[in-house]
Structure formats: C-alpha cells, structure tokens
A and B are shown apart, each in its own frame.
Chain A
Amino acid sequence: MSRVPGPFRSQLRAELTVVLRNGEQLLLTLIIPVLLLVFFSTVDVLPTGDVREPIDFLTPGVLALAVMSSAMVSLGIATGFERGYKVLKRLGATPLGRPRWLAAKITTVIVVQMIQLVVLVPVALVLGWDAGSARWLLAVGAVITGTIAFGGVGLFIAGRLRAEINLAAQNGLYLVLLLLGGMVIPFDELPEPLAAVAKCLPSGALADVLRDALVGGADRPGTSWIVLAAWAVVAPALTALTFRWE
C-alpha cells in the first residue's frame, strides 16, 4: 500500500523527481559549474589580474553561475514544459493552489542549490580557495536575492514563450550571461560599453556581491547590491503581471 503525503509534500516530491531524473538539468546545474571551476582554476587562461589567485576570483563567480542555472534556467525550462504539456492547467483544477505550487517550486530550487553548495564549496577548497575571510551571512543574503531575481527572470520567460522557444531562450540567455556577467571573465576585460551593460545585469551584480562577501576586493559592491535588489523586485513583479498559465 502506498502512503500518501499532503498536497505540499506531494507536489514537492513531484517537482524534485522531475529535476533529479532529468540528466540535462544535472549537467546544467552541477556538472558545468564544477568543470568551469576545475578547468579555469588549473589552466591559467583567464585574465584574472596579477593580484588575484584564479580560484579566489572563480569561486564566487561559479557560485553565482550555479544560482543562475538552478533559479533561472532549470526552473524556467521545467515550468515552460509544464505549461506546454498542460500540467499547470491540470493542477489548476486541484486543491493545490498557486501559493503551494510556488512554495514547492521555491523549495525545489533551494534543495538543488544546497546540493550545488555541498559539491562546489569543497571542490573550491580542494583547489586552493581560502575561505577564511568569507562573510557567510552576507553570501547567503546574496544567494537569496539572486535566486529571487533569477527566478523572476526564468518564470517571466517561461510564462510567455512556447515550451521549445523557452528552452532555447533560457539556454541562450545562460550562455550570454555566463560570458558577460563577470562570473568567469572580469568586467574590466570587457570593452567599455559592454562592461557598462554587464554591470546592470543580475549575473554581474550577483557575482560582484558574492565576490565581496566571499573573498573581498569586489568592483563596486554597493551598486551591485542595488542592481541585484532592483532585479529581485522588478522581475517577479513583471512575471506576476504577465504569466500565462496555459
């Protein structure tokens, strides 16, 4: 006989099953960040400046990338397909309700991020990252704000585009933000107009505030906090206004 949990736990289990059974999502949220961290910290090809160890520059950037992959791309792609396959429409006729649905989505992202941290932080420490000066509470605040901002962006795209186009858009945006976002390439290595744009993106802002919290020496943490907070307000608000359930 099957034991049946309540609505929230049932939905959470379904969400986690979809994410953890999906090999592409595992590649995006875990394997790519680990590979980037290992490769660029051991092969000296990145222009991280003379005063920085590559791993000290990379660790906050890759953690920001991990947040972006779980909160924006993974969440956005899954939600887009749920719209396309009428899963959301079907759930709309159950007692689940939107608050519990959203809570299950958020909890799933948090669980994935905890797995990401459990894997990425030890890898970074093994590769030589000195976590002695890290301000962890500030870092957690940055991850939460970044998760809200990226979650808003991911759901905004998922709530407007067809599932297949949403898939391409989320992956394309991931690549653009990875290259422009100050995650693995410093802002000052980008052409000036591009750097100005990059500093206004949530990826650049999250990488900058995480760098400030975890290793110090960020470019402009105050401004980055304002940029990140603005994305965390505007993106979810836009999503709430424009999201189409089917």
Chain B
Amino acid sequence: MTSDASAGFSRIDRTERTLEVENLSVRYGEVLAVDTVSFTARPGEVTAVLGPNGAGKTSTIEVCEGLRRRSSGHVRVLGLDPHRDRRSLANRMGIMLQEGGVYPSARPIDVVRQYCGLYSSGSGKAANPDELIELVGLSERRRTAWRRLSGGEKQRLSLALALAARPAIVFLDEPTSGVDVNGRTMIRSVIRNLADEGCTVILATHELDEAEKVCDRVVIFDKGKVLVNGTLDDVRKARQAVRLRTAKPLDLDAMPENLVGWLVEEAPGNYTIEDAPQGLIGALAVWLSERGIDVIELRAGMSSLEDVFKDLTGGRS
C-alpha cells in the first residue's frame, strides 16, 4: 500500500471464495436483465466485470451489494446473503457508485469523515479520514464543495468513501470514468494495493485497457449472460490469434493454395489467422513482400482483452 491509510484492511485466506454468484437471474417486469449467471471471486484478486451497456453487469453487482433483490439464484458475499444479512455485510463491504452519491454542497473531508463515522461501530475499525483523503490525492481540495470538483476528483472521492470501512470486499463501478492520466494511475495503484492486501475487488468497467492493466480475473457479460469467466491469461490465451494489418486490402482469392482459407478479413486491410500451422506466417510474409504490400502490423500471441471482448460481443460497447 502506498499509505498508512490502507494498512489494516482485512486479510483473508486467498483460497476462499468471497463472492459466489450461482444461477442468478434478475427480472424487471417482462425483461430478463440477468439470466442464470454464475461466477466467483477470490480475496487478493481484482475481478473485472465487463460488458456492453445493458449487458446486466450493474444489476448483478447491485444484487451483490444488497441494493437490489434477485428474482432467483444464489448469491453469497463473504458467506452472507447480501439482502438478508445486509447490515452485517455493510460493515465489511465498500461500494463505489458509477456517479453521484454525494450532496453537491458537501466538502470532501466532511463526507469522508461522515462515512468513516458510519462504519465506526462495526466489528472492524474504520479508516482515518485524513489518511483516506491523502490516499486518493485530495488533500489540496479537502474543503472544496463537491460540485466544484472535477470529474476525476469526484471519482477519487467516491473511491475514498468505498474504502472507509477498511473493506474485505469492494465493488467499484467505472472508477476511472472521466479521470485524467495521473488520476487513472493513482486509482489503479490503490486498486492493485487493495487486492495485494487481501481485499476482494470487483471492478465493473467499460474501459478494457484499464481493466487489462489491473485485473486478475475477467467475467464478460452480454445480453444478461456470462460469456466468459476465467483468469485474464486464460481468457486471452483461449483466443490466441495472429493479427495482420496491411497498407492496402488483400485480394484473398489470389492467394496461393498454402495460404488460402487461413486469413479471415475483419475489415479491408485487417485480418486474423487462428491456429496458424508452422511455416504459415513465413510463407505469408514472403507472399506479401513479393507483391510489395507494406505490413503495418503483424502481431502474434495472446489476444488483447479488447480483441476478446470484440470477438464475443460483436464490438458493441
């Protein structure tokens, strides 16, 4: 941890499953927003929950936070039912809403002090307000009304509130949305340190590059279902491919017999090759060179999280 403020967060056995979601469904009238989804999260890990708008990730997280009732299924957070045991769970859980949550005239130091006070009668000891403010880099702005803070400063304040309980599990909804580069680095560092201290971090975000930099596990939602659930490396390896970008589109029909059928055109000038046999890439490079076609990018190995996400969701965000 970068500051004493974070010292003392609950340490948990890393083999434990601190979040268990099993066959969870959430229905709004006729609409099935979450359809029998299952996944788990462990202490000491950052689990990124990804998906396009309306994929069901916020509904799922709000059920886990005890803010929304489930229609069916089974959810356990730190071994507790988030709805029935809401009060007990609240003492050990931190949440960060996507936006709002603070009265516009309130000052950061007052709100942080308020939230530390709300957790001060729980089983654990609440964080120190001054140290929390310092941890999220708001010392200079501690007495500025919330409405006058920048988008990034509001997000950092919201993150501080999520840490007031010295939580064993935190749910962070779009923590880097609207945050500048320095702020992102700082938030990533706080998230990573939280996990290293043994906290279970659930990170819902649209920002795939941010998720990729900080997460250990990935759960990708689409249309109310979980499409992929696993460690970041496993998810990326499962979609291993060679990606080729050329200066001008290729005539795939004119390719020699040993190359034809391997390249899949995603867009003119953009191609992927899955499960390429030995020698194929070399033959392709020779063929391109003979025709004077410039290669802008030829990348082999694990797919990026963004590539996986686009493949699974059809590129919707």
Contacts and interface: CB of A to CB of B under 8 A. Distances in A.
B180 to A, nearest CB: 23
A18 B106 CA distance: 7
B118 interface: yes
**For chain A, what secondary structure do more than half of its interface residues adopt (helix, strand, loop), or is it mixed?**
helix
A96 interface: yes
Contacts of A6: 117, 120-121
Interface in A132-170: none
A11 B105 CA distance: 15
Contact of A86 (B97, B106, B120): B97
Nearest to A7: B118
Given A82-B103, A89-B67, A14 B110 contact: yes
Interface string B142-156: 000000000000000
B65 A93 contact: yes
A1 interface: yes
Interface in B102-131: 102-106, 109-111, 113-122, 126, 128-130
Given A2-B129, A11-B114, A17-B106, A87 B101 contact: yes
B120 A4 contact: yes
A85 B101 contact: yes
Interface in A1-37: 1-2, 4-7, 9-11, 13-14, 17-18, 21-22
Contacts of A90: 95, 97, 100-102, 161
Given A2-B128, A90-B161, A93-B67, A10 B117 contact: yes
B21 to A, nearest CB: 17
B66 A7 contact: no
Contacts of A9: 117
A9 B130 CA distance: 18
A82 B146 CA distance: 14
Interface string A70-84: 000000000001100
Q: Which of A89, A91, A95 has the most CB of B within 10 A?
A: A95
A104 to B, nearest CB: 11
Interface residues of B, number: 36
A189 B11 CA distance: 72
A1 B97 CA distance: 27
Given A17-B110, A94-B115, A95-B91, A2 B130 contact: yes
B248 interface: no
A2 B143 CA distance: 14
A122 interface: no
Contacts of B126: 4
Contacts of B95: 90, 93
A92 interface: yes
Contacts of A11: 114, 117-118
Interface of A: 1-2, 4-7, 9-11, 13-14, 17-18, 21-22, 81-82, 85-87, 89-97
Given A10-B120, A89-B67, A95-B91, 13 more contacts: A2-B116, A5-B117, A6-B120, A7-B118, A7-B121, A10-B113, A22-B105, A85-B101, A87-B103, A90-B100, A91-B118, A93-B93, A95-B87
25 contacts: A1-B128, A1-B130, A2-B109, A4-B117, A4-B128, A5-B117, A7-B118, A10-B115, A11-B114, A13-B117, A14-B103, A18-B105, A85-B103, A89-B100, A89-B101, A90-B101, A93-B65, A93-B66, A93-B67, A93-B95, A95-B91, A95-B118, A95-B119, A95-B122, A96-B118
4 A-B pairs with least C-beta separation: A10-B117, A90-B101, A86-B100, A95-B90
